[in-house]
Structure 1
């Protein structure tokens, strides 16, 4: 007889230790005891669709004993053999679920490929040793399957914050998992757990379905009562499961936002563009921070009464604005769920700028020396204006509405521009230009310049300023031809001639209705002198009179002595005509003047204006 003792299972799943099942054979022959021991893994974990190997390690006290190996599975509470091997033959039993999925190597290790869901059962390895007896060990095989990625399905409804009970917002579905995985809902990385005390706010319904292949489909439904801050929250589900060996894993679904309807708490009335002027198009817009259905109404306050402006939606356009469109505008936001009304309004200014008005109106003709001349520049506008006066479009002469001339001078003549603008409205400005004329007697300023150009030359230039434009005449010994440049408010006389060997005198005179002024040039040899005609003319006249007196006395003395014959035939002319020297006149074309140049016809040196004749 013999008795068999089966070792217990190891406590830890997946332990690497082999637990022997000891079979002790007690022979009837006194003093001889033989044993068969079988070791295997008490628990193994396998992943479905992959291969798993279950070891079977026999230990026999009499090694040379003939032995056999058998593998069994538990099928409906009964053993079913799936493999047999003895010293000569090995066979996989036909007609079992493992006929085409197993093999056993020479070390008796059973390999299953692939593992399926129904392989989660107990496997027995039995080793027999003839008269010694037999021994066996068993392994519990646990199988795992990773579920598919969870799919989240958002409910299409919009949840109003006036609701009092949680509403279904999303469903999470995952398939082909084993064992049944866990499903957890999250909001912004914070898990959502069903709580009986918060049933009106959060509830989770979980449904597990075992499919024909033995794997599980998990369906979890989340009902939730949101608050306003949930409008930007993200919701998703997480599936957690276990895989061999002892590895916890998880998969996350896509993230969704839920549709929340909540009444507006604030309204804002806007206009585009922000700065308006006449003839602009204005877009009025009404915005609110709610998501519930609302109705917008635009209005204008006219004579204390609200006038409704027809609109479609939250925008309305007003075309071709005028200054009369300025006023108080706004909008009402009516929440259709709560009937609450929000109001927003603002005062709109349509900017305008009328034509410039100058006081006095002109013409602006002033006499030189006039005091306290003032010209104002004003315009009607929607806002306070900036005013600037400039001369010749460059130099700013005043930054207020007044152009002030404390003492009028010839230099004050010219063009002035007045520009008015509304600050902050760059496209709204106006400008007006006036011309100021200063009347006065001529003022002369002359220069003398010597230069070399194929010989010595002298340039005699005079500038006569005054208004009306002076009439300028110049005379000179031998009556040269002169050139005049007629400018605005002044005349330039210019003469370029060879430097004389003797003395040359030339007088230039400017005359208008207010007076005259002149200038005497005395050019002597290679020295050019310019003297004022006031004192020089008198000196010249006195010298000439003295010379004539001396000459007359000499002639009279000679006549008395008979030195000069008196007969016609004997007379000699002392007034022989002198041949006029040829004088070359060159006009300087590079003279820079501020206005258009007019070339005046030259006049003879002896000719004077009418008031000098």
Structure 2
């Protein structure tokens, strides 16, 4: 019965419409309503009757849905006066709500689905006042997930003739379909034949949402090293268009080297023989190339050397290792080869050569010139030494008017100022030949020694061949040689003798080239008071001390005698005293007579001699 009544009313509506076509009703609806998937959509329908006053008493409002491209439609709602019906058995039976007022109606669709993207038709029937309907397109939007970009991991060579795959980008679960745009360093890439290709496809998920995939193919250049590629997804939302940009990915651009550099890594400074040299090669290609090292041997082909990656090690180099070295990429094109070059200089210093060699004999008074040379790749400096003391500089050493002091070993030291580690040396032994020459200028030596004392006599002579020394003694047979030493250019002899009388000793130095003599005259001085050897200076000192003591004693005795005379202790008379001034004496003798009081038996007489301190008094004693 519920369905039959609307049908009857509908038929009545058609009849009245045909009978009264002059009535007019106006209906206004938006062309489209946009809503996010899962949200509620509200579709308004406003109406107005123009040929009558107010709203007709009999008014029917119906809502229909129609799929795009279909001619059939389905009713989902009916309303007449207070009677409202949501049609059952449709997909909207439990999801719609309709509100009515004097000016219109509003349809609310809850939990919008993708299938809701269709036409919604609002029909207003005032029977005799007219019938009009309008439609609204409901649009449902689902924004995609964040775009996912994936770059190609393998390197891409610039030598590829066709564009190569660079990256893929995917935007999942969008409605309607999203669009993908590619960027290089934030600049949009426009598809270009032979340069940029973009391949785009989509997939309809089980949910009805779209997933869009895009692949970028790009003809890379060397300039693309370090470039960033990204994709941007644009999609519709209610009332706007939004975009989301992905993260960026780089591309590993492979390109051959256009420039190669070869340099010496170590050691620093100049290279000398024996050093270990490290050479390194580097090119601007990507990936970093490995290299082949070679050494130029014009006019012969280059000789390839064993190396490791971009390093060439030369152990204990010598001068023959010097020359032009090259390196080239191992995967390079021999037709258009790039290479690095460098010249390696290995410096050297040969052993010193001294002329004359080893040893040279020269006569005393002659001149000699010695040279010292060492072949070197750099400027050298030469210095001569003798016994650690510098005696000359330069390659040549001049010895003039040779003396025995000039004999010995001369060492030349050759250095390289620019490379101090290079140094060498050589030596020559100079022998000065000649007759003996006694050390010292005296031809005759005079000595005075006390009898009984031991005297050592030394005689040293220079000459080459080494002279022999012989001693000749006159006046003494008690001697012996206590020291003797002979070298290449000198001989020394020491003899010891006991002085018993005047002695003359002669030292005779001789070799096959001559002889030299020296005489020693020893005067023996006898001892006076002791068996010990007598010294004149010591005897004179003792005599002076004795004289001083005697004078002091004499003064004391004179004072005592004078004191006794004053006291009357000593009688004075012609018969009792003797005048000192009348005593027979010399200027060197003093006689003092001393007596006790009347005691004739204990008379004592003291005789003191004053001795002058000259050499005569000393000799008399």
- Normalised to the residue count of structure 2, the TM-score between the two structures is 0.48
The structure with the largest alpha-carbon Rg is 2
